[in-house]
Chains A and B, each alone.
Chain A
Amino acid sequence: MKHLLSAGDLSRDEALTVLDTAERLDEALTGREVKKLPTLRGRTVVNLFFEDSTRTRTSFELAAKRLSADVVNFSAKGSSVSKGESLKDTALTLEAMGSDAVVIRHPASGAPHRLAGWVRGSVLNAGDGTHEHPTQALLDAYTMRQRLGRLDGLRVAIVGDVLHSRVARSNVLLLATLGADVTLVAPPTLLPVGVEVWPAAVSYDLDASLPKADVVMMLRVQRERMGEAYFPSAREYSRRYGLDRTRMALLPDDAIVMHPGPMNRGMEIAAEVADDPRRSTIVEQVSNGVSVRMAALYLLLGGSPA
């Protein structure tokens, strides 16, 4: 594996290798006083962020540092990028500085694919436009497996703005590879034309979907979408597609509730659902994110499976 651009590029074995590696790295660090492994000492990882995303950037930074890599954070704001430098020139600059891996977050779909053509090192997609966010899908799968013990046959409902969601695209691809049954639940306006060929079922009815879900993953819905007539009002959205306590009661007993963050409390998810200690995995997802990203960096930068 040279790059991690799309969750769809991972075979079942490769995906499981990432999850297993994350698990072993996690175990290796548990109980240690110094949370650091020497694995990537002397390697340079560049965090190239063209969008604000403190949580993802921090997660990658921590992952690289725990593997003892040198980390450079390069954010578009206040850099030459905001002065009109092209992605290509930025890539060539980073290349000249000798980076081994570039972690890129970019508002344009496919920007990591372009970057991969311009640099020699590995490119890791940390979210591109409305396309993909493969490490998010990996950490979600990791969390599901950790909580529920399996992925094969697991029934996963992904709810919300599928059209604009890179999290949904990566999850659909990865979960299909890993044998889970995915149902996308959204108003028809927030599903892409062409969704019918995705390896997932589609439903417009959240209440009907919940009793059949082992996992319900709520996607962030931006209030701005309202202005583009994707739905009439935030209130109507929340009434039809928001997960509140009443709806949560429709879930099977051991079902879990996930959210990639950042949440709109009161919009797609009610506060008491997000904070539910039994079902909500939202905080675990964050810590698992670091382990999975360590595994991805480790495997991309030439480590053999742990």
Chain B
Amino acid sequence: MTAFLLEGVAPYGDAPVDLLIRNGVLATGSTRGATVIDAAGLVALPGLVDLHTHLREPGREDAETVETGSRAAALGGYTVVHAMANTEPVADTAGVVEQVWRLGREAGLVDVRPVGAVTAGLGGERLAELGAMADSAARVRVFSDDGKPVHDPQLMRRALEYVKAFDGVVAQHAEEPRLTAGAQMNEGVVAARLGLAGWPAAAEEAMIARDVLLAAHVGSRLHVCHVSTAGSVELLRWAKSKGTRVTAEVTPHHLLLTDELAATYDPVYKVNPPLRTAEDVAALRAALADGTIDAVATDHAPHALEDKETEWAAARPGMLGLETALSVAVLAMRETGLLDWRGLAERMSTAPARIGGLTPPSLAEGAPASLTLVDPAARWTPDPAASASRSRNTPYAGRELPARVVATFLRGEPTVLDGKAVR
């Protein structure tokens, strides 16, 4: 295994040091034989951890595979991704989660942690075999029907209780489906003008309110996916103040983009939950800064061209996110003075690892060398055609973003060098 010496790198943007990677860990001692990487001006962060990634395999390998998604993740500075369960077949058995886990190991670019479905076939009617998935080689700890909510309150209660046995967490896609039938975008002044059916903020908030009450009642751990409204933030703040064991994530796009973009009718801006208003964006940023929202999660959702090159209503919701997440977070949080590099590392690596039941990546001596090097001065413009993803549905095409991932290491092995995937 090659040793690397990262010369002049700034951990968390602090004073420059030399970091030695040897035998897969951050080491001290002799640098003899180590490949020297000039890292002057670069910031070192612990490898990013994504709680919410759609890798589409098995089932929609035309949109993404475990391998292409893993490569996109590495290029974005990630060393761990949690692969959502809404594949075909659904990841609701030990067999499917082990398959995804094994494909991740074979690709070897990031640790792929499968998320198990809460209900069989995402049907919302009976529990999937949560224990079997937890005990499988994939060691599943995060369970989610993402794409759909666990709508039945009794089933949600049972799921929250049941996963306590193996310290699992239910990650809820908070959406009251009766309030969003046919919904196309955030309900409000823009939707009224565009004649697109509205997705009211209350549909998310009502579900979060119910779930935090259930989690408090049974003393379980709840994670809320892709929080998108100012009202949701208030509910989470209240629940946390009561000591409820709830965590939450926000996507990069909800930290930056607003529903005004729907005026183009270009479905590259169609996503679920939908882009909201500037007031919501401001509330989400403040909540991420003060810890009410624990983590940034990409909700990386690749879609084939024909599912986006359509009229708005016919398009599938979702956006790419892995390669741009850190840059968007820097733009929304660091350049606004809301979070420093340490804060970003907490929200994009430490906290999501903890929520997922993992030992958080670290830059401490002796820790596994899973880390990423970022050029904080770089500016770049995402080009959909240049994405490592199989899909092209980035909402940031042509938009200049700050900060670029230069290198990523997974347990001492480089997955990205000079801004390019090693393989």
B264 contacts A113, CB within 8 Å? yes
Does any Cβ of B come within 8 Å of A279's Cβ? Answer: no
A110 pairs with B198, CB closer than 8 A: no
Interface string of A80-116 (1 = CB under 8 A from B): 0000001110000000000000000011111101100
Question: Does B399 sit at the interface, judged by CB under 8 A?
Answer: no
List residues of chain B with CB within 8 A of the CB of A128: 195
CB of B189 closer than 8 Å to a CB of A: yes
Query: With the chains together, A197 CA to B188 CA distance in Å?
Result: 10
Which single residue of chain A is at the shortest CB-CB distance from B196? A109
In contact, A110 and B265 (Cβ under 8 angstroms): yes
Please measure, in the bound complex, the distance between the C-alpha atom of A194 and the C-alpha atom of B193, giving whole angstroms: 8
Q: Are A111 and B311 in contact (CB under 8 A)?
A: yes
Q: Which of B236-286 contact A (CB under 8 A)?
A: 264-266
Contacts of A127-142 to chain B: CB distance below 8 A: 128-132
The answer to whether B314 and A108 have CB atoms under 8 Å apart is: yes
Is the CB–CB distance between B265 and A194 below 8 Å? no
Whether, in the assembled complex, B106 has its beta carbon less than 8 Å from a beta carbon of chain A, the answer is no
B309: CB under 8 A from chain A?
yes
| Residues on B with beta carbons closer than 8 Å to the beta carbon of A34 | none
Q: Give chain A residues whose Cβ lies under 8 Å from the Cβ of B197.
A: 130
Query: Which residue of chain B lies nearest to A113 when distances are taken between CB atoms in the complex?
Result: B265
Which A249-276 residues have a C-beta within 8 angstroms of B?
none
B384: shortest Cβ distance to chain A, in Å?
Answer: 16
Inter-chain contact B309/A86, CB cutoff 8 Å: yes
What is the bound-complex CA distance between A108 and B266, given in angstroms?
Answer: 13
Interface size on A, residues (CB 8 A): 25
Q: Is the CB of B194 within 8 A of A131?
A: yes
B195 with A194: CB separation less than 8 A:
no
Instruction: Known A86-B306, A193-B198; judge A108-B311 contact (CB<8 A).
Output: yes
A220 CB-CB contact with B under 8 Å: no
- By CB atoms of chain A within 10 A, which of B187, B189, B193 has the most? B193
For residue A276, give the distance in angstroms from its CB to the closest CB of chain B: 31
Residues from chain B with a CB closer than 8 A to the CB of A87 are: 310-311, 314
Contact B313 A194 (CB under 8 A): no
* B325 beta carbon closer than 8 Å to chain A: no
Question: B311, A110: Cβ atoms under 8 Å?
Answer: yes
Interface contact A114-B200, CB-CB below 8 Å: no
Contact B313 A108 (CB under 8 A): yes
How far, in angstroms, from A110 to B263 measured CA to CA in the complex?
A: 9
Q: Is A66 an interface residue (CB 8 A)?
A: no
Q: Which residues of A lie under 8 Å from residue B189 when comparing CB positions?
A: 194, 196-197
Shortest CB-to-CB span from B185 to chain A, Å, is 10
With a cutoff of 8 Å between Cβ atoms, the chain B residues found around residue A194 in the complex are 187-193, 198
Q: How many A-B residue pairs have CB under 8 A?
A: 73
Q: Mark B145-157, 1 if CB is under 8 A from A, else 0.
A: 0000000000000
Does chain A have a CB within 8 A of B78? no
Determine how close the nearest CB of chain A comes to the CB of B256; give it in whole angstroms: 22
Contacts of B188 in A (CB 8 A): 193-194
Q: How far is it, in angstroms, between the C-alpha of A169 and the C-alpha of B264 when the chains are bound? A: 17
Q: Contact at B192–A110, with CB atoms within 8 Å? A: no
User: Which residues of the other chain, B, contact A130 by a CB distance below 8 angstroms?
Assistant: 195-197
Distance A130 CA – B200 CA, assembled complex (angstroms): 18
Taking a contact as CB atoms under 8 Å apart, the answer to whether B195 and A109 are in contact is yes
A192 in contact (CB, < 8 A): yes
A166 within 8 A of B: yes
The chain B residue sitting closest to A192, CB to CB, is B192
In the bound complex, CA of A113 to CA of B266 (Å): 9
Whether, in the assembled complex, B409 has its beta carbon less than 8 Å from a beta carbon of chain A, the answer is no
Residue B312 CB within 8 A of the other chain = yes
Q: Tell me which residues across on chain B come within 8 A of A107, comparing CB atoms.
A: 313
A132 touches B192 (CB 8 A): no
Contact A109 B310 (CB under 8 A): no
The answer to whether A109 touches B192 (Cβ under 8 A) is no
**Residue A195 CB within 8 A of the other chain:** yes
**Chain B residues numbered 180-216 whose CB sits less than 8 Å from any CB in chain A:** 184, 187-198, 200
Q: How far is the CB of B265 from chain A (nearest CB, A)?
A: 3
Given the known interface contacts A193-B188, A194-B187, the answer about A132 and B195 at a Cβ–Cβ threshold of 8 Å is yes
Q: A192-B191, A194-B187, A195-B192 are in contact. Are A110 and B312 (CB under 8 A)?
A: yes
CB atoms of B310 and A193 under 8 A apart: no
A109→B182 CA distance, assembly (Å) = 13
The answer to whether B195 and A129 touch across the interface, beta carbons within 8 angstroms, is yes
Q: How far is the CA of A195 from the CA of B193 in the complex (A)?
A: 8
Report the minimum CB–CB distance from B328 to chain A (whole Å): 25
A230 CB-CB contact with B under 8 Å: no
Q: Which residue on chain B has the smallest CB distance to residue A191?
A: B192
Beta-carbon contact of B312 and A109 below 8 Å: yes
Near B by CB (< 8 A), chain A positions 145-172 give 166, 169
Are A88 and B194 in touch, CB under 8 angstroms?
A: no
Closest to B198 in A: A193
Interface residues of B in 306-336 (CB under 8 A from A): 306, 309-314
Complex-state Cα separation, A201 to B198, whole angstroms? 21
Chain A residue contacts of B190, Cβ below 8 A: 194
Q: In the assembled complex, how far is the CB of residue A111 from the closest CB belonging to chain B, in whole angstroms?
A: 4
Alpha-carbon distance A256/B310, docked complex (angstroms): 41
B333 to nearest A CB, angstroms?
29
Q: How far is the CB of B183 from chain A (nearest CB, A)?
A: 12
CB distance from A173 to the nearest CB of B (A): 9
Cβ-defined contact, A108 with B312, below 8 A: yes
Cα A99 to Cα B196 in complex, Å, equals 29
* Residues B187 and A114 in contact, CB atoms below 8 Å apart: no
12 inter-chain pairs at a CB distance below 8 angstroms, sorted by A residue, are A87-B311, A88-B310, A107-B313, A110-B196, A129-B195, A131-B194, A192-B198, A193-B198, A194-B189, A195-B192, A197-B189, A198-B193
Inter-chain pairs besides A87-B314, A166-B195, 8 sampled, C-beta below 8 Å: A87-B311, A88-B310, A109-B195, A111-B311, A113-B264, A130-B197, A195-B192, A197-B189
* Chain A to chain B: the 8 pairs with minimum beta-carbon distance, closest first: A131-B195, A110-B265, A194-B192, A192-B192, A194-B189, A108-B311, A130-B195, A109-B195
